[in-house]
Structure 1
Amino acid sequence: MTHPYGILSLLPPVAAIVLAVVTRRVVLSLFAGVFLGALVMDRGNVWLATVATFEDHLWTTLTDPGKLRVFAFTLLMGALVGVITRNGGMRGLVDGLSRWANSRRRGQLTVWLLGLMIFFDDYANSLLLGSTLRPLCDRLRISREKLAYLVDSTAAPVAGLAIVSTWIAVEIDYVREGLLNLETASELNPFQLFVASIPYRFYVLLSLVFVPLIAITGRDFGPMRQAEQSRAAGHAPITRLPDGGLTRDATEPDVDQPARWWNALVPIAVTVAVVLGIIVQTGSESVRSTGGELRWVNVFGAADSSIALQYGALAGIVLAMVMTLVQRLATYEDLLRSAAAGARLVVPAIAILWFASSLSRMTGNTSITGQPSEAYEHRDQRLYTAQYLQQQLLGTADVKDSARVESLRHWLPTIVFALAAVVSFCTGTSFGTMGILIPLTITLGFAVSASPDGTLSAAGSRLLLASLGSVLAGAIFGDHCSPISDTTILSSQASGCDHMDHVWTQFPYALTVALIAIALGTVPVGWGWSPWILLPGQIAALVGIVFAFGRQPRPN
C-alpha cells in the first residue's frame, strides 16, 4: 500500500530536532514540528492545520489520563524536593553521602550504583536521582551535564534489562505479537525469547559499563570534557531554569536548622515502597481478572505504573510535610511555599513532555482513539513516519518471498539496530519504536533463519535473538540521542541542566558506545560469532577509547 505522505512524514520530527539544536528553544521547536505535521496532513491548509494542532494533537495529549498522571508525578516530585530541601533533610542526606562520596570519582559511582538499584521504572529513576543527587554533585564540582548523562544512561538501560520492571510486559507483549505472525513458531515462548536476547543487547550492556568506566577513570572527551573543565575550575553551573525556581527564600533551611538525613531519605523510601506496592496490587488484580498465572513477570507487566508513580509521590510529599511539622522545622505556610517553588521548577519539563508526546503520537501508527492501525486510515491524524522508514529500508514485499531480505541475512542485526535508532530518534519514543519493529523483526528473523520445515537451527536461533536484541538496544540508543525523548527531557530537567546542553554532551558518548556495539557486536554476531566472545573485546575497546581520547578535567 502506498504511503499517504511519503518523505513529508519525516519533515515534522526532523524540523523539530534541527530547530531545537539551532535555536535552543525546545518548546517552540516542538510546537513548530507539531504544526508542520498538521500542515502536511491537511495538505497545506493553514486554517485546518491550526485547528488540528490544538484540538487533535495538543489537547488530546494533554487530556490523556496516563499522560496526566505522569505530569502529576513530575509536579509532586518537584514539590517533594522543595519540601525536603526546606526541612534540612536534603542537606543532611548530602552530608551523609559525602562521608563516602567525598570525591568526584565516588560521587559519580554513587549516581550509577543508586541508578542500578531503582531498576523498576525509568521515570522514577531519572526524577528521584536527578533531584536528590544534584546538591551532592554541585558540592563535588560534578557538572550538571555529567549528572544528567549518568542518570539518563542508567535509567532506561537498567529498566529495559530488568525482568521485574514496568517495561517487561510491554516488551514481552511485542514479542508475543511477532510470534503470532508466524505459522510454525508456536513452540517459542515470548518470555524465554526475551531473556535469551539479553546478551545480544550490546548497546544497552555497554552503556551500563561505559558509565562506571568514565567515573572510575575520571576521563572525559568532547563537549562533556568542556563542561567538566568549567565546573572543576569553579564556574557555577548554567541551568537556564526559569526565574522563581528553588530560591533561598522559598526552600533553603535556616542556618541553625538541624540537617537530619532521615527527613529526606524516609519520604523517598516511602515513595519507592508505595510505587512498588501499588504496582504489585494493580498488577495482581489485573492478572487475576484475566485468569493468568501470578508470577512476578506477569504482575509487573500488567500493573498500572502511572497510578503507582502518582500516588507514590503523593505519599512521599505528605509524609515529608508531616515529619517537618511534627519536628517544628517549618510552618505550614513555609512548606506550601517550598512545595510550590519545587513544583514550579519542573514546569518546563512538563511543557516539553507535553509537546514532545504530541509530536511522538503524530509520527506513530496509533490513531487518536488509542488503537493501533493496520492500514492507513483516512483522517486518523497520524503520519506513519516509522512505516515510511521501514518501507525505504526493507521494501513492502512479503518477507517469505523477498530476495531483498534474504540477501540481508547476515546484516539483519545491524540493519534493525540502525532502523530502530533512527525511528526512536525521530519519534522520541523507545516504546513506540519497539512496538512497530519487534513484530516485524521477529517475522524477518524467522523467515531468513528457519529451515524449510519451519524449525530453527542453533545458528538460526542466534540470528533471531541477535535481531531481537538489536531492536531493543537500537530503540534505547535513539532515545538517548533524541532531543524530543521523554526520558532525555526528564533527566536534564531533574538534574537542573539545560536540555540541549544535555543532548549535546551525551551524544558523543552514546555514539561511541553504539559504534562499538555495531563494529564488534551486531556485525560479527550476524556472521555467527557468540556474544560471550564479543563482549570482552567490546569492553576492552571502550577502555582503549577512554584512555586514548579522554582527559581528566583540570582547574585552570
Structure 2
Amino acid sequence: MSATTYGAWSLLPLILAIGVAIKTRKAIIGLFLGVWSGGAIYRYFDGVDLAASLFSGVGLPSYEPLNIVVGIIIAGFWGSIDALQWISESVGESVFNMQIILLVLFLGSAIAMIWKLGGTLAAAEKVTEYVDSKRKAGLAAWLMGIGLFFDDYANAAIVGTTMKDISDELNMSREKLSYIVDSTAAPVSTLALSSWVAFQMSMINTGYEATDIPASEVPSSFLIFIKSIPFNMYSILAIVMVGIIVVTQRDFGAMLSAEHRARETGKVNGEKAQPMQDIKGELGEPIEGAPRMLRTFFVPVLVLLGVVTVGAIITGYEPGRTLREILINANYIFTIVVGSFAMVGSTWYYAYFYDYMSVGESVDTSVKGFKIMLTPLTILVLAWTIGSVVEQLGTGEYVATYATMVLTPETLPIVVLLIGSFMAFTMGDSWAVMAVLTPIAVPLAWELTASHTMVAVVVGATFSGAIFGDHSSPVAPTTVLAATFTGADLIDHVRTQVYYALTVVAVSTVLLLTWGYGSPIWGRSIWAAVALLLVGSVLLTGIVYFLSGWDARRKNISATVTNHETHSLEAGDD
C-alpha cells in the first residue's frame, strides 16, 4: 500500500513509542507499544475486510460501524503477530545488525574483564593525575572522539569506556559525557574517511542514476562528496558546539541542571535514572589484592585499534587500489567485531598470565558482561524494528509528499534538511534516511538548477538532517550506544542533548537560508558556505553564553563550574 493509505496514522507508532518512553522512563515498553501499534495500523484495512467477510459468511447483515469495531480488534491481534515477525526479521535478515549485536556483546565482555582486573580504576587514577578538571576531561573525550573517526560505534565504545570513570572522579554528569561522545562520534564519521563515506558516495551515485544526465557527464561521487562537506553544516557545527561547551564550561537547559546536580551532590546520574549499564553493581569490586596495572586497560584497547587498522587494510585491499580507496572500501564493522573479540582474548591472557582468574572465572565474568548489555541490545532490536514499521507505513514518504509541494532553489536545502531530520528521528537510522532521501534529493536539485554544486548542497543537507534526527531520537542506535558505554540513562541523555542539537540545527538552517538567498551576491560559491560556517561558530558561541547566563539566572545557580552554590534544583527546573 502507498504512504497515503495510512496518512497521519503513520505517525502514531513513533509518537506512542517516544511519548511512553519519556513518560515512563521505560524505553523498552514505549518501543514495543510503538511496534505493536504499527502492526495494528498496518492490518486495519485487512481487519475490517475480514470482519465484513465473517458477518456475510454466516448470513448476518454487514454494518459499517460494527465492521470497524470488530476490524480494529482483529487488527490488534493480527498486528501483534506482524510485530513479532518484524522484531525477528530486524535481526535475522540483516548481517549488519547481527554484527552489531556481536560487537556489543564482545565489548560488554571486555569491559567486564577489564573492570575485574582493575584496569578501569588504574586508568582512572593515572589519567586524573593529568586530567584534573572537567574542562580537561571534556577536551580529552572530544579530541579522542575526533581522532576515532573510522566508525561511530567503536568511537562511542572506546571513548565512553575510557572516560566514564575519569569523568565520575571529577563529578561530570553522565549526561554530559554521553553528549560529548554522541555528538562527536557520528558527525566525525560522516566527514572523514570511514565506512560512512563509502556508503554516502554510493548514495550519490544512485541519485545521479535517477537523473537524465549521460553517464559520461556524471561527476565523480568523491568530488561531489568533498563539495558537500561545507553544506553538511549540522555535523560540522555539532562538533564545534561540543568544543564550545567543553572549553567555556557553560551549559543551558536540562544539561545545566544535570551538571549542577553532579557538582553539588556528586551524583553523576539523576535520582530516577536507570543507567544502561552499571558495571560495579553487576560485577562487584575488582579482584581483591590484584595490583592495578595500566596495561590491563590500555593493551586491550590498543589490541582493538590494531586489529581494526590491519583489518581495514585487508578487507579494503584489491590490486591497484590506492590507500584512500582501500580505507574507503574497508569492511569496518566486520573488523571491529574481530577486534572486539581479540580485545576479550587479551583480557583473558592477562587474567591467566598473572593468575588473577581461572579460565572458568574468566568465562563467568565474560557472561556477566553479556548480561550487562541485554537492556541496550533489547532497545537496539526494538529501535531497528520501529524503523521497519515506519517504512512499512510510509511515514517518511507521507511527510515528504507535503513538504515538497513548494520548492525553490533557495528552500530546497532546508526542505531536504527538515525531511531528513524527521525521517531519522522516526526511523532511528541515519543510513536508511540517506538511502531513501539522497536518490530523491539529487534529481530534484538537478531539475531545479541543472547545477552540480546544488546537488552537493542537497547531499550535505541530507547528511545533516540524518545526523540531527539521529541525535534527537531515543530509538537511534548511536544514541543508545552512547548512553550504554557512558553508563547514562537513555532518556536523560536524549533530554539533555536535544537542547544542543536543536540549537545547532537552528543555526544550520539559518546559514543554509542565508547561503541560498544570498546567491545574487556570491552565486553558488562553496567558499561562501565555508565563511558562513565560521559565522555559525561565532554565533553558537554567543548563543551558549546568552542562554547559559539566562538559564542560570532563572534557576538561581551558576552558569559555570567555577562557583559552588547550595540551591537545590526543583523537579521542574529544566
- TMscore range, shorter length: 0.7 to 0.9
Deviation per CA, 1:447-504: give whole Å up to 9, x if none: 1112xxxxx4xxxx44332222111111101110011111001101111111000000
Work out whether residues 169 and 298 of structure 1, in 8 Å CA contact, stay in contact via their aligned partners in 2: no
Alignment of 1:42-191 (within 5 A): 42-43=43-44, 44=72, 45-55=75-85, 57-63=86-92, 64-162=94-192, 164-184=193-213, 186-191=217-222
Cα distance change of structure 1 residues 442 and 69 upon mapping to structure 2, 3 Å threshold: same
Cα distance change of structure 1 residues 187 and 227 upon mapping to structure 2, 3 Å threshold: same
1:347 aligns with 374
CA positional deviation for 1:524:
2.8
Q: CA RMSD in A?
A: 2.1
| CA distance in 1 between partners of 2:387 and 2:493 (Å) | 20
Work out whether residues 479 and 488 of structure 1, in 8 Å CA contact, stay in contact via their aligned partners in 2: yes
CA positional deviation for 1:119:
0.6
| CA distance in 2 between partners of 1:426 and 1:187 (Å) | 33
| CA distance in 2 between partners of 1:500 and 1:129 (Å) | 20
Amino acid at match of 1:278: G
TM-score by length of 1: 0.88
Deviation per CA, 1:493-539: give whole Å up to 9, x if none: 11111100000000001111111111133443453251122122111
Amino acid at match of 1:486: P
| CA distance in 2 between partners of 1:195 and 1:324 (Å) | 47
| CA distance in 2 between partners of 1:250 and 1:16 (Å) | 32
Cα distance change of structure 1 residues 244 and 335 upon mapping to structure 2, 3 Å threshold: farther
Cα distance change of structure 1 residues 360 and 12 upon mapping to structure 2, 3 Å threshold: same
Deviation per CA, 1:19-77: give whole Å up to 9, x if none: 2122211111111111111111111422221211112x011113233212211110111
Cα distance change of structure 1 residues 541 and 126 upon mapping to structure 2, 3 Å threshold: same
Work out whether residues 173 and 267 of structure 2, in 8 Å CA contact, stay in contact via their aligned partners in 1: no
| CA distance in 1 between partners of 2:359 and 2:281 (Å) | 17
2:472 aligns with 481
Cα distance change of structure 1 residues 526 and 85 upon mapping to structure 2, 3 Å threshold: farther
Q: Does 1:312 align with 2:339?
A: yes
Picking from 539, 552, 555, the partner of 2:560 is 552
Deviation per CA, 1:173-200: give whole Å up to 9, x if none: 1000011122226331111101111111
1:493 aligns with 484
Cα distance change of structure 1 residues 537 and 223 upon mapping to structure 2, 3 Å threshold: same
Q: Does 1:220 align with 2:221?
A: no
Picking from 399, 405, 410, the partner of 1:389 is 399
Cα distance change of structure 1 residues 488 and 243 upon mapping to structure 2, 3 Å threshold: closer
| CA distance in 1 between partners of 2:127 and 2:513 (Å) | 40
1:208 aligns with 239
Q: Does 1:417 align with 2:417?
A: yes
Amino acid at match of 1:440: I
Work out whether residues 20 and 29 of structure 1, in 8 Å CA contact, stay in contact via their aligned partners in 2: yes
Deviation per CA, 1:143-198: give whole Å up to 9, x if none: 00001000000000010001x21111110110000111222263311111011111
| CA distance in 1 between partners of 2:394 and 2:313 (Å) | 35
Residues 60-69 or 354-363, more deviating: 60-69
Uncovered stretches (5+) of structure 1, i.e. residues with no partner: 365-381, 396-403, 451-455
2:449 aligns with 449
Cα distance change of structure 1 residues 115 and 244 upon mapping to structure 2, 3 Å threshold: closer
Work out whether residues 82 and 339 of structure 1, in 8 Å CA contact, stay in contact via their aligned partners in 2: yes
Amino acid at match of 2:315: T
2:535 aligns with 537
| CA distance in 1 between partners of 2:515 and 2:184 (Å) | 26
Amino acid at match of 1:233: E
Q: Does 1:281 align with 2:308?
A: no
* Aligned-partner SS, 2:393: coil
Work out whether residues 190 and 197 of structure 2, in 8 Å CA contact, stay in contact via their aligned partners in 1: yes
Higher-Rg structure is 2
Amino acid at match of 2:546: A
Between the two structures, name the one with larger relative contact order (CA 8 Å, sep ≥ 6).
Answer: 1
Deviation per CA, 1:424-462: give whole Å up to 9, x if none: 111111111111111111111111112xxxxx4xxxx44
Amino acid at match of 2:126: G
TM-score by length of 2: 0.85
Quick one: percent identity of the two aligned structures? 28
| CA distance in 2 between partners of 1:423 and 1:2 (Å) | 14
Work out whether residues 277 and 373 of structure 2, in 8 Å CA contact, stay in contact via their aligned partners in 1: no
Work out whether residues 81 and 132 of structure 1, in 8 Å CA contact, stay in contact via their aligned partners in 2: no
Work out whether residues 3 and 395 of structure 2, in 8 Å CA contact, stay in contact via their aligned partners in 1: no
Amino acid at match of 1:418: L
1:427 aligns with 427
CA positional deviation for 1:254:
4.2
| CA distance in 1 between partners of 2:245 and 2:16 (Å) | 33
Cα distance change of structure 1 residues 448 and 248 upon mapping to structure 2, 3 Å threshold: closer
Q: How many residues align?
A: 512
Work out whether residues 77 and 128 of structure 1, in 8 Å CA contact, stay in contact via their aligned partners in 2: no
| CA distance in 2 between partners of 1:355 and 1:243 (Å) | 15
| CA distance in 2 between partners of 1:490 and 1:315 (Å) | 20
1:331 aligns with 358
Q: Does 1:265 align with 2:298?
A: yes
Residues 12-21 or 245-254, more deviating: 245-254
Work out whether residues 263 and 324 of structure 1, in 8 Å CA contact, stay in contact via their aligned partners in 2: no
| CA distance in 2 between partners of 1:244 and 1:443 (Å) | 45
2:507 aligns with 516
Work out whether residues 86 and 335 of structure 1, in 8 Å CA contact, stay in contact via their aligned partners in 2: no
